Amino acid sequence: MFSKINAICDRHRRALDMLFYIGFTLNIFYFFLRRTMFYVFMDALPWMGLLGISLLMLLISALNEIFRSESKMEVIFDLALLISGALQYVIGGHYPIQFFMVIVMIAARRKDAKKCLMAFVASGTFILIFVWILSLNGIIYYQTEPNLALGTSNSTDCMADWFFVISAYLVFRRNKVKWFEYPILYLWTTYIFYLTKGRTAAICLYAVLTYSLIINIKTITKTSSKSTTKPYRALAFFDFSYVYAFIFSFFAGIFFSELFADKLTGSLNTIQSRLILTHKALISRPFSLFGSHVNEAGFGGNHDIGEYFFIDNSYVRVYVMLGAVMAFLLFYAITGLAIEARKGQMWILYGILVIISVDCIMEHHFAEYWCNIIISLALADWGFLKLEPDTECHQ
């Protein structure tokens, strides 16, 4: 039976791959747009139809990848993702959106990451500018307090959106970013930060731009493989940056108390508040294999709420809301990608992975697959980064 299914899949591989890229683009476009203030228009039937069509395409692609896989470990991992995603929705009582993430990840296996990045960058850039224009014209809500949100749900998310879009663009361009693009990107980052005051994402985006500029000036792979064997092995420490960040976040949250929080003042007030919320989340929620539903109250575009409660730390958020099993599977997948990036000398991807792991300590975007596009493509084919890079600087 499976051999017949494989034969059918092989005969229609191009059509199935095209089905995935269309479904992937539609799905990312839908959820990226829904996280903006445009969401008020998106309960209409056409938008729900768009979501349904994209999910159907992705589900077909995911099942195709499971059936055509020749690796038992891949099949086991994909089925574990699929079952865990379903159980965390049914048992954990969470929104089905995280189950959609699982479908996207499996469907993206062995697909060309470059095409997916191109779709994400184009969609993200268009949407962020589109909702900004709509908000300026009063068509959607224009948040001005405490900072400008530029048509998105809140100001920090706006800065984070630009962080992920520009990071994806730099990976997409590899080491071929033109010199004149860097001043533009630095200035644009500064302008968005000035409007939104999204500190964490802005700092991480400056780090990404600087890192990209450095490796664009002097590509590491120019040196001989003999002389770089040890440095490559030394960098293996950073392969597990997401694991380190999870351990740090977990124990900082568990052993943190409001008595200690009172000693954190000044510029650390943001760290203080987020540690307090992390502590509350871990203490109030028992260990769960498949997560639990958490009623959150975040400001965003809604100011008529009670006591603020939101789990900003991505690692605690995944552990509490999606469960220990899903957390393990996601960290396993992203760590595997980091190891692949280091061994394949895909330095732009490797560095950005490490920077995102730091960003996720303070922000909640790790499992938001429509925003953190790299988690969506953790199982994809990043072969375009393994090509011999140009050794000359691009003017």
SS (H, E, C) 310-374: CCCCHHHHHHHHHCHHHHHHHHHHHHHHHHHHHHCCCHHHHHHHHHHHHHHHHCCCCCCCCCCHH
Mean pLDDT value across the chain? 83
pLDDT at 10 (0 to 100) = 62
CB environment 221-242: b (16+ within 10 A), e (fewer): eeeeeeeeeeeeeebeebbbbb
Those residues whose C-beta lies under 8 Å from the C-beta of residue 123, and which sit 6 or more positions away, are 25, 28, 29, 32
138 belongs to a structural domain: yes
Q: Per mean pLDDT, which range of 49-53, 222-226, 257-261 is the poorest?
A: 222-226
190 belongs to a structural domain: yes
How many degrees, rounded to 5, is the angle at CA 213 between CA 208 and CA 214?
100
25 belongs to a structural domain: no
Higher pLDDT among residues 333 and 16, named by residue: 333
Phi then psi for residue 289, to 5 deg, are -70, -35
Instruction: Tell me the percentage of the chain whose pLDDT exceeds 70.
Output: 82
303 belongs to a structural domain: no
Residue 226 above 60 pLDDT? no
pLDDT at 11 (0 to 100) = 66
When divided into structural domains, the chain yields a total of 1
pLDDT at 391 (0 to 100) = 42
Q: Per mean pLDDT, which range of 114-118, 217-221, 278-282 is the poorest?
A: 217-221
Q: Using CA atoms, how far apart are residues 107 and 24, in angstroms rounded to an integer?
A: 9
Q: How confident is the model at residue 219 (pLDDT cuts 50, 70, 90)?
A: low
pLDDT at 224 (0 to 100) = 42
Instruction: Determine the average pLDDT of the residues in 282-296.
Output: 77
Domain span including residue 354: 113-242+323-385
Q: Using CA atoms, how far apart are residues 67 and 20, in angstroms rounded to an integer?
A: 15
In terms of Cβ atoms closer than 10 Å to its own Cβ (0-12, 13-18, 19+), residue 54 is: buried
pLDDT at 79 (0 to 100) = 92
Instruction: Tell me the percentage of the chain whose pLDDT exceeds 90.
Output: 46
Q: What is the number of helices (H) and of strands (E) in the chain?
A: 17, 0
Q: Using CA atoms, how far apart are residues 137 and 315, in angstroms rounded to an integer?
A: 38
Instruction: Determine the average pLDDT of the residues in 101-118.
Output: 94
Instruction: Determine the average pLDDT of the residues in 210-232.
Output: 65
Q: Per mean pLDDT, which range of 48-52, 289-293, 390-394 is the poorest?
A: 390-394
395 belongs to a structural domain: no
Q: How confident is the model at residue 128 (pLDDT cuts 50, 70, 90)?
A: very high
Instruction: Report the DSSP beta bridge partners of residue 309.
Output: 297
Q: Using CA atoms, how far apart are residues 68 and 119, in angstroms rounded to an integer?
A: 25
143 belongs to a structural domain: yes
Q: Per mean pLDDT, which range of 203-207, 309-313, 316-320, 329-333 is the poorest?
A: 309-313
Residue type, 176: K
Q: Helix, strand, coil: what percent of the chain each, to 5? A: 70, 0, 30
Residue 162 above 90 pLDDT? yes
pLDDT at 2 (0 to 100) = 53
Alpha helix positions (H), 108-218: 113-136, 155-173, 181-196, 199-217
Pull the structure tokens for residue 170: 């730099």
Higher pLDDT among residues 259 and 13, named by residue: 13
21 belongs to a structural domain: no
252 belongs to a structural domain: no
pLDDT at 331 (0 to 100) = 96
Higher pLDDT among residues 245 and 69, named by residue: 245
Residue 299 above 60 pLDDT? no
How many Cα atoms sit within 13 Å of 245 on the Cβ side? Answer: 28
Residue 345 above 70 pLDDT? yes
Q: Using CA atoms, how far apart are residues 113 and 185, in angstroms rounded to an integer?
A: 23
Cα separation of the two ends of the chain: 56
pLDDT at 40 (0 to 100) = 87
Pick the closest to residue 373 from 395, 356, 358 (CA basis): 356
Residue 269 above 90 pLDDT? no
pLDDT at 44 (0 to 100) = 80
Angle at which helices 241-254 and 269-284 cross, to 10°: 80
